Structure 1
Amino acid sequence: MSSLRRRAAAVAAAACAGVLALTGCTAFNNSDDGTADGNGTSATTQTFQPSGGKPTATLSIASGSENKEVAVAIQKAADQSNVAVTMHYMGSLEIMNALKAGGQDHDAVWPASSMWISMGDTKHIVKDAASTSTTPIVFGIAKSKAVKLGWADDTGAAKPVSTADILAAVSDGKLTFSMTSATVIDSALNVYQTALRKPSWTIWVVDYSGSMSGEGKNGVVKGLNAALDPDQAKKSYIEPASGDVNILIPFETEAHRPVKATGTSTSDLLHEADATDASGGTDIYEGLLSALDELPSESEASQYTTAIVLMTDGRSNSDHQDEFESAYKSRGRDLPIFSIMFGDADPSQLKSLATLSNAKVFDGRSGDLAAVFRQVKGFN
């Protein structure tokens, strides 16, 4: 085993959750990635520096967020191995997609379950894998069946049952059961996204003021394509389905004419998003007031999961804030307003909107827009 493998193995042995797999996709380096502050902690990144001084290497891990719970064990591993560990916390789908993309810039992946490695490692880049925990499984059967198999008495009190007992009962045809398979989950995600989930009615209120010109506009256009272009969105499991309704409302000082797209026919909406120039002042409340007029009717509302998504740098005239808040409350609907920050964002007004509508503010400047929109979909 090379020194690289020994150091990584030490990290794995000291930790206590999930599965650590070495991808071998990048070389080690001797500095962190600069995304964290202080002791190397940010919302999505956490770096553990060895207490003994300058690390001999840095291990970059794409990790499930549940591994935040074992920070003490990771720090201990960093101290013992003299290797810094940078944890990039992300969802299981992001880890799977990182593997499909060749590992990106990560040296290892640490998902909650090995099935995400099985589904994602299509390029066979995983070189070594170590289990750092096992997941308890609760096997429940009807009382009558348990009594018949001799696994419980007539009162229902259970007797010790081993895996061998279960396998023997299945082999003898006395017990049947079904369970999920990692080989079909990928397809099942697509089926859920396009066929089984409730249709969504999403109103995209997009800032085209002068302050959004350049990088800001480019960001929102890229984001809309990541969420609404069927080919792009499918890769991130957020593709529009046949029953979905998407409405684009560009705004600056005033709100523009809404552009509506039904199902997967989003090309006209995306063309309008790209063709609209960024200029003029900013009044997010004019855009949001216009969005309230584009909600499904009360008779239609139960058919959809409805939300407003505001994409802006948050630098707005607030003259119409009270008017909008009053109009919003008068509707009496549980309507979330998710805000996604772009450009030189000012989150203060956006946080007020999130509080008003029981929603959340997201940062669209991170670069991984598909992950941002997947979070929005998850909350909605």
Structure 2
Amino acid sequence: MRRRPGFAVRLAAGCLAALAAWALVGCSGPPVAVTIASGSENRTLEPIVQDFCRARGVTCRFDYQGSLDIGLALAAAAPPAFDIVWPANAIWIDLFDRKKQVRDLTPIVRSPVILGLRRSKAEALGWIGRPVSTGDIVEAVRAKRLTYLASSATQSNSGAGAYIAMLSAALGHPDAITRADLDRPGVQDTVRTLLAATVRTAGSSAWLADLYLKGVEGGTAYDGMWNYEAVLAETNAELARRGAEPLYAIYPSDGVAAANSPLGYVERGQGEAARAFFAALQSHLLSPEVQARLVALGRRPALGEAKGGADPSWNYDPGRLVPLIRMPEPEVVRAALELYQGALRRPSLTAYCLDFSGSMGGAGETALKAAMRFILSHDEAARVLVQNGRDDRIVLLPFDGRVRGVTRGSGAPEDAAALVAAVDANTAGGGTNIYACAEAALREIRATPERERYLPAVVLMTDGRSENYARQFLDAWRAEGGDVPVFGVTFGDADKGQLDALAEATRARVFDGRTSLTEAFRAVRGYN
């Protein structure tokens, strides 16, 4: 972690009067607005920050992003569009901030990544009231007695934490993982087994918790999820409010990874007043009274352990000492994430419905083809850790008022040229029927050999409004009986309401591709 010793103290002393009256020479006045790029797990902490901002007449805007998104913004050629970063872990700053723009990065709170299981599932496995190791979890997965939700290791810190802890446990030693460790076949086999139990994935920890709750609403009883201790506490509070079965906390006895939620200042020429505001905010969040409020919200303090707050009914104890794994060096983390994306995660089965209706002519058609060239190109996609793996299966369904044809392929690099050619062969023309394509995508997924090996998803990209055959499609979706999400990607003048309805019904989400289809397709990859 790159921390400049004494930075906050020097800055606060240099601009102390400015923090009170904003009139000191050299401090030009308070910042009018501040943007904070934050992990989604901090949503429940935002009110504390907003109270501080309002008291100082500053407008603070939270921009919730995945860990990878924050890192990529720091790695871009242009300065990032935020003033403060608040990711889940400093490792994402170390991986991507090559220009050293982030200053005074300091942990604010901590939360370990653990496994929350429906209490009835934990009871069936015999895990109530006893230590549970990663080996126990592997055994339950191999016996087909356990599945779970987990966020993507390449998109979300909670997913990365769970994955790196799995690697560490598979190695069976307390030292930090090395590059050579990643090549051990036994280690890969164990972690591949653990990841194969993932039945749905997500690009953020908060969305994953929402997915679990939607499953409860819709009658899909997921066994549980890997997530932050604090997010599990929030989820259990909501489950209790609904009178639903709680999650039981499993703290793997051979080690867990923990978020440390560091707050850092992004230097992009804002001036001393902005830096003074940041220093004051950081000091405020680290003050004893605010740390106590954060602990009351299920977090562990930046230093020391939480006192009280335990709930034995679901094994929750934020004061419990848990064995923490040693995080690898950044280059090893990068190699581990590439291994996850390319070879170890459960393979995906993605059916892309691509709108080539008449309204996509010109810029729309060009943008769509460029986005698909990016997502199908191993080397291009690998730069941002969304590359397909050899075991992934891809189905392309270009459509207008009807499905024009179906092209299948794998995620192997040698299949990319044929898949790209199948997309490029289309030109815009005709009407729009998104539901016909979505239904055809379901049929293609159903017809895939050994489909149970894969994480299936439909990605529906459109710029138009369709005749409404939603009921017919949803009848087919329910008859399918699977958990196949239909993700939407909007472009141009798309009717977001239709895509939102499909996403809500299938426990998915909609991505905005109006600014960049390439970025939207990249984001979708964190969810399938």
- Say whether 1:272 aligns with 2:422: yes
Q: Give the 3-state SS of the residue equivalent to 1:62 in structure 2.
A: strand
Partner of residue 89, structure 1: 64
1:284 and 1:8 map into 2 onto residues whose CA distance is: 60
Contact 1:119 1:182 survives alignment (8 Å): no
Q: Give the 3-state SS of the residue equivalent to 2:444 in structure 1.
A: coil
In the comparison of the two structures, how many residue pairs are matched? 304
Query: 1:362 pairs with 481, 491, 511, which one?
Result: 511
Instruction: Write out aligned runs for 1:244-323 (5 A).
Output: 244-263=392-411, 264=413, 265-295=415-445, 297=447, 299-318=449-468, 320-323=469-472
**Structure 2 length as normaliser, TM-score?**
0.51
Moved more, 280-289 or 187-196: 280-289
Query: 1:239 pairs with 367, 387, 405, which one?
Result: 387
The offset of 1:209, in angstroms, is: 0.8
Higher normalized helix content (fraction of residues) = 2
Query: 1:186 pairs with 320, 334, 349, which one?
Result: 334
Distance 1:351 1:72, change over 3 A: closer
Q: Give the 3-state SS of the residue equivalent to 2:340 in structure 1.
A: helix
Kindly indicate whether structure 1 or structure 2 has the higher relative contact order, using CA contacts under 8 Å at least 6 residues apart.
2
Query: 1:211 pairs with 356, 359, 362, which one?
Result: 359
Contact 1:7 1:83 survives alignment (8 Å): no
1:209 and 1:343 map into 2 onto residues whose CA distance is: 12
2:491 and 2:349 map into 1 onto residues whose CA distance is: 23
Distance 1:359 1:85, change over 3 A: closer
Q: Give the 3-state SS of the residue equivalent to 1:231 in structure 2.
A: helix
2:51 and 2:386 map into 1 onto residues whose CA distance is: 38
Contact 2:37 2:63 survives alignment (8 Å): yes
Distance 1:109 1:302, change over 3 A: same
The offset of 1:93, in angstroms, is: 1.1
Query: 1:113 pairs with 89, 106, 113, which one?
Result: 89
The offset of 1:310, in angstroms, is: 0.7
2:378 and 2:518 map into 1 onto residues whose CA distance is: 15
Contact 2:367 2:517 survives alignment (8 Å): no
Contact 2:435 2:473 survives alignment (8 Å): yes
The offset of 1:261, in angstroms, is: 2.2
Moved more, 298-307 or 326-335: 326-335
Instruction: Write out aligned runs for 1:115-194 (5 A).
Output: 115-126=91-102, 128-135=103-110, 178-183=325-330, 184-194=332-342
Percent identity among equivalent residues?
34
1:124 and 1:314 map into 2 onto residues whose CA distance is: 43
Partner of residue 299, structure 2: none
Distance 1:195 1:132, change over 3 A: closer
Partner of residue 254, structure 2: none
Partner of residue 341, structure 1: 490
Deviations 1:259-309 (A, max 9, x none): 222223222222332341111111122222332332253751112111111
Q: Give the 3-state SS of the residue equivalent to 1:87 in structure 2.
A: strand
Contact 1:118 1:182 survives alignment (8 Å): no
2:335 and 2:488 map into 1 onto residues whose CA distance is: 30
Contact 1:220 1:342 survives alignment (8 Å): no
Contact 1:206 1:251 survives alignment (8 Å): yes
Moved more, 205-214 or 220-229: 220-229
1:314 and 1:132 map into 2 onto residues whose CA distance is: 45
Deviations 1:207-241 (A, max 9, x none): 11112223433443343234222122112211010
1:358 and 1:76 map into 2 onto residues whose CA distance is: 33
Contact 1:203 1:309 survives alignment (8 Å): yes
Amino acid paired to 2:354: V
Distance 1:354 1:77, change over 3 A: closer
2:338 and 2:95 map into 1 onto residues whose CA distance is: 14
Distance 1:111 1:216, change over 3 A: same
Q: Is there any run of 5+ residues in structure 2 with no aligned partner, and where? A: 1-6, 20-27, 114-129, 133-302, 305-322
Distance 1:106 1:8, change over 3 A: farther
Partner of residue 24, structure 1: none
Give the number of the structure whose alpha-carbon radius of gyration is greater: 1
- Structure 1's consecutive aligned runs of 4 or more residues displaced over 6 angstroms after TM superposition are 7-10
Partner of residue 330, structure 1: 479
Q: Give the 3-state SS of the residue equivalent to 1:358 in structure 2.
A: coil
**Structure 1 length as normaliser, TM-score?**
0.68
Distance 1:227 1:88, change over 3 A: same
Deviations 1:47-72 (A, max 9, x none): xxxxxxx9544333322233333333
Distance 1:325 1:117, change over 3 A: closer
Deviations 1:90-117 (A, max 9, x none): 1111111222225433333221222222
Partner of residue 20, structure 1: none
